[in-house]
Amino acid sequence: MATSHSAAPPRRARRMALGAVLLAVALTLAGLAGRWAGDAATAKLREAGAQRLDGYAVSLDNLLSKYEFLPGTLELNKDVIALLQRPDDGTLRNEVNTYLEQLNRRSGATTIYIVNLQGVTQAASNWRAADSFVGDNVAFRPYVRDALRGVPGMFYGVGTTRGEPGYFFAKGIFYEGRMLGVATVKVNIEQLEKGWEPGADQVLLTDAHGVVLLSSVPEWKYRTLAPLTPEVLRELNASRQYFLHALSPLGLRELRRLDDRASIVTLPQDERAPVLSQKRSLAPRLWSFIYLSDLSSARASARNTFAFALLLQALLLMLVLYARQRRRAHSQLEVMVAERTASLQQMTQSLSEEIRVRCKAEEKLRQAQRELVQAGKMAVLGQMAAGITHELNQPLTALRTMSDNARVLIERGRLEDASSNLSTISQLVARMGELTGQLRQFARKADASLTAVPVAAAISAALFLVERRMEQERVSFRMSIREQDVHALCDSNRLEQVLVNLFANALDAMEAMPNSALRELCVNIGSANGRAVITVQDSGPGLPAAVRAHLFEPFFTTKPQGKGLGLGLAISEQIIREFGGELRVEAATPGARFIIELPLAQQGTA
Ligand code: ADP
């Protein structure tokens, strides 16, 4: 008990530690798998985003390059040159205005205008409009300043007149090697936005400072990717590049930088949904396109892969546990089989032990039986000794008296009396001899060999010995043979002895009823249950129960002194028993019926 108590907690702790390690490993692996899937999906998004960015860059380039050459063509127009030389010529101005108006319409530009060396607009395509550029001083605009310095100007800005954004191209107008003014073309690039469908993905065009020029989300326009430094803000205010717009930061937050062209960022409107931000620089304009891809599909893919990997590992673990369980069950079965076999062996052992004990007990029992038989014999011997003493005492006393008398008679010379005395003595001795002879019979061992004895013949032989007496006593004899040729396995002489004994007893019994009309001795031969059956019945007085109880005991007799010894039936019963048969008695009406059963002999048995 104590050991199991102290052993259990460490085992449980070990199991828990193992479980924790397994869980950690499973989570790590699933995390790696999820990350890998997320990265793969992100890489795909990046590829698609890069293609989109290329597309946007090409379309912007196409748009701008269409107008880039336009300012240069204006110095080829004679009227333009002339107007710059004679700015007060009203007719000329009208002509140039009209020309610019037509050119503007044909080229699809927003506004085309001409500025003198002081930065004042001399003619403009929008000359008819109320807020026409004509007369405006745009010297502060960087593209104008650049062009006046002889460098072609390019600039994106929000118009100060109408607040409309545009891309400005400016180039000096030269005549005979001298600059007369600046030709300017304003292009509306907002038309690009029309192709940017609002959706999950966003596209932005930013300038060199990160100010959003174009955006698929209208609210993001003129916001900045990052807060601007005070110097930049000052510079932008001076050029009024974005006119009145506040230029507040968009609030993008970089979560992870993938490389210098891509990072994972969050937008202020949903901090929990990171997006992939990709950038494409547009040399030589220092602008950039920014493409924001929705990462939810990649994140879903990562999540799914994570869950799937966890599930897969759980499945694997279950498989392993199942296999282990089966193996354990198998070995348990083997242990059970071994245990059963062992207990069976034990049972067999104890059974054979029991068998041995029983055999011993049986042997003891047999021994006891033998001893009992011996004891029984001793008891019979005791009875016999008492009987013999009783039987011999009387004749012996008589013998003594008579022999004493004979001696006296001879001394007195009465020889005749002495002779009669001596003959009585001789009779007494003969009787004693008879008694001892019968005793010898009783004590005789069953050494006779058994043969097939024809029962009818044995009965005839026995009958021969009592025939004379039957005649004298007028007893009729009846024999019924139910079965012919019945042979019994026994000794013929001794069977005859038994039969004579039974016949004599029957005659004695009938003699005791001299007045009875019916005097009959019936013998029956048959067989039953594989045994020869002989019945001897008389018409005598029969057997009272008290007599029947002691019939086969030695020295039991009801006959008067000197008539019966009481050994006949005892000897007969012993003889029949030695043959393996049985002698018994039944009450009959009238008389008594004795039944002898003997083993049947196969005919021809020697
Ligand atoms: P014994 O004939 O010397 O008396 P048995 O052993 O032959 O001795 O018989 C014992 C007794 O059984 C007889 O004394 C008699 O009383 C009784 N007995 C035997 N046979 C008959 C019979 N057929 N009918 C009546 N009594 C019988």
**501 closest CA partner among 446, 589, 448, 576:** 576
Average pLDDT over residues 474-479: 94
Q: Is the pLDDT of residue 449 over 90?
A: no
Strand 582-587 to strand 592-599: parallel, antiparallel, or no bridges (unpaired)? antiparallel
Q: CB–CB of 64/163 below 8 Å?
A: no
pLDDT above 90 as % of the chain: 48
**Atom of ligand 1 at shortest range from CA of 571:** 6
Q: Is the pLDDT of residue 520 over 90?
A: yes
What is the per-residue pLDDT for 3? 45
Q: CB–CB of 600/532 below 8 Å?
A: yes
User: 566 C-alpha vs ligand 1 centroid, how far in Å?
Assistant: 7
**Atom of ligand 1 at shortest range from CA of 591:** 24
Q: What is the DSSP string of 411-439?
A: HHT-HHHHHHHHHHHHHHHHHHHHHHHHH
Reported confidence tier of residue 605, pLDDT bands at 50, 70, 90: very low
> Which of 119-128, 205-214, 299-308, 563-572 has the least mean pLDDT?
563-572
> Which of 19-23, 245-249, 410-414 has the least mean pLDDT?
245-249
Reported confidence tier of residue 523, pLDDT bands at 50, 70, 90: very high
Average pLDDT over residues 306-328: 92
CATH of 70-188 given 1.10.10.10, 3.30.450.20, 3.40.50.10140, 2.60.40.790 = 3.30.450.20
Q: pLDDT of 480-508, one tens digit each?
A: 998 889 999 999 888 988 999 999 999 99
Long-range contacts of 453-457 (CB under 8 A, 24+ apart): 453/487, 453/488, 453/489, 453/490, 453/491, 453/492, 453/495, 453/601, 454/485, 454/486, 454/487, 455/486, 455/487, 455/488, 455/525, 455/532, 455/534, 455/598, 456/481, 456/485, 456/486, 456/525, 457/492
User: 313 C-alpha vs ligand 1 centroid, how far in Å?
Assistant: 106
Sign of CA pseudo-dihedral 88, 90, 96, 100: positive
Reported confidence tier of residue 467, pLDDT bands at 50, 70, 90: confident
Give the CA radius of gyration of the chain. 77
**182 closest CA partner among 169, 191, 195, 192:** 169
540 lines ligand 1 (CB under 6 A): yes
Distances (CA, A) of 534 to 444, 498, 565, 570: 24, 11, 25, 18
Separation CA 468–CA 476 (nearest Å): 12
What is the per-residue pLDDT for 376? 53
Q: CB–CB of 150/127 below 8 Å?
A: no
Q: Which of 497, 521, 569 to mutate to test the pocket of ligand 1 (most atoms within 8 A of CB)?
A: 569
Q: CB–CB of 228/236 below 8 Å?
A: yes
Sign of CA pseudo-dihedral 25, 29, 30, 32: positive
Separation CA 460–CA 591 (nearest Å): 22
557 lines ligand 1 (CB under 6 A): yes
User: 501 C-alpha vs ligand 1 centroid, how far in Å?
Assistant: 9
**Atom of ligand 1 at shortest range from CA of 510:** 24
Residue identifier of the C-alpha nearest atom 20 of ligand 1: 505
Sign of CA pseudo-dihedral 536, 539, 540, 544: positive
What is the per-residue pLDDT for 111? 93
565 lines ligand 1 (CB under 6 A): yes
Residue identifier of the C-alpha nearest atom 23 of ligand 1: 506
User: What's the chain's length in residues?
Assistant: 606
Q: Which amino acid is at 413?
A: G
Q: Which amino acid is at 421?
A: N
User: 557 C-alpha vs ligand 1 centroid, how far in Å?
Assistant: 6
Strands (E), 18-164: 111-116, 121-124, 153-158
Q: Is the pLDDT of residue 441 over 70?
A: no
122 lines ligand 1 (CB under 6 A): no
Separation CA 489–CA 472 (nearest Å): 34
What lies within 8 Å, CB to CB, of 398 at 6+ separation is 428
User: 71 C-alpha vs ligand 1 centroid, how far in Å?
Assistant: 174
The superfamily (CATH) of domain 451-599 is Histidine kinase-like ATPase, C-terminal domain (3.30.565.10)
Average pLDDT over residues 390-397: 78
What is the per-residue pLDDT for 396? 86
Reported confidence tier of residue 392, pLDDT bands at 50, 70, 90: confident
Structure tokens at 364: 């003891």
Residue identifier of the C-alpha nearest atom 13 of ligand 1: 557
Residue identifier of the C-alpha nearest atom 11 of ligand 1: 557
Q: pLDDT of 58-72, one tens digit each?
A: 888 888 888 988 999
User: 382 C-alpha vs ligand 1 centroid, how far in Å?
Assistant: 22
**Atom of ligand 1 at shortest range from CA of 540:** 24
Average pLDDT over residues 265-288: 87
Average pLDDT over residues 547-571: 84
What lies within 8 Å, CB to CB, of 245 at 6+ separation is 158, 222
Q: Is the pLDDT of residue 380 over 60?
A: no
Q: Which of 435, 505, 516, 561 to mutate to test the pocket of ligand 1 (most atoms within 8 A of CB)?
A: 505
Q: What is the DSSP string of 296-347?
A: HHHHHHHHHHHHHHHHHHHHHHHHHHHHHHHHHHHHHHHHHHHHHHHHHHHH
Reported confidence tier of residue 4, pLDDT bands at 50, 70, 90: very low
Structure tokens at 503: 């016949």
User: 505 C-alpha vs ligand 1 centroid, how far in Å?
Assistant: 5
User: 227 C-alpha vs ligand 1 centroid, how far in Å?
Assistant: 152
User: 575 C-alpha vs ligand 1 centroid, how far in Å?
Assistant: 17
Structure tokens at 498: 């038994």
603 versus 321: which is more confidently predicted?
A: 321
275 versus 441: which is more confidently predicted?
A: 275
116 lines ligand 1 (CB under 6 A): no
115 lines ligand 1 (CB under 6 A): no
518 versus 195: which is more confidently predicted?
A: 518
What lies within 8 Å, CB to CB, of 483 at 6+ separation is 525, 526, 527
505 lines ligand 1 (CB under 6 A): yes
User: 442 C-alpha vs ligand 1 centroid, how far in Å?
Assistant: 17
Answer left, alpha or beta for residue 511, where phi above 0 means left and psi between -120 and 50 means alpha: alpha
569 lines ligand 1 (CB under 6 A): yes
Q: Which of 434, 557, 595 to mutate to test the pocket of ligand 1 (most atoms within 8 A of CB)?
A: 557
Reported confidence tier of residue 196, pLDDT bands at 50, 70, 90: confident
Residue identifier of the C-alpha nearest atom 19 of ligand 1: 505
Separation CA 314–CA 309 (nearest Å): 8
Q: pLDDT of 89-108, one tens digit each?
A: 999 999 999 999 999 999 98
User: 381 C-alpha vs ligand 1 centroid, how far in Å?
Assistant: 21
Q: Where are the domains of the chain?
A: 70-188, 451-599
Q: Is the pLDDT of residue 524 over 50?
A: yes
Strand 262-267 to strand 253-259: parallel, antiparallel, or no bridges (unpaired)? antiparallel
User: 498 C-alpha vs ligand 1 centroid, how far in Å?
Assistant: 13
What is the per-residue pLDDT for 394? 76
Separation CA 274–CA 270 (nearest Å): 8
Q: What is the mean pLDDT of the chain?
A: 87
**Atom of ligand 1 at shortest range from CA of 538:** 23
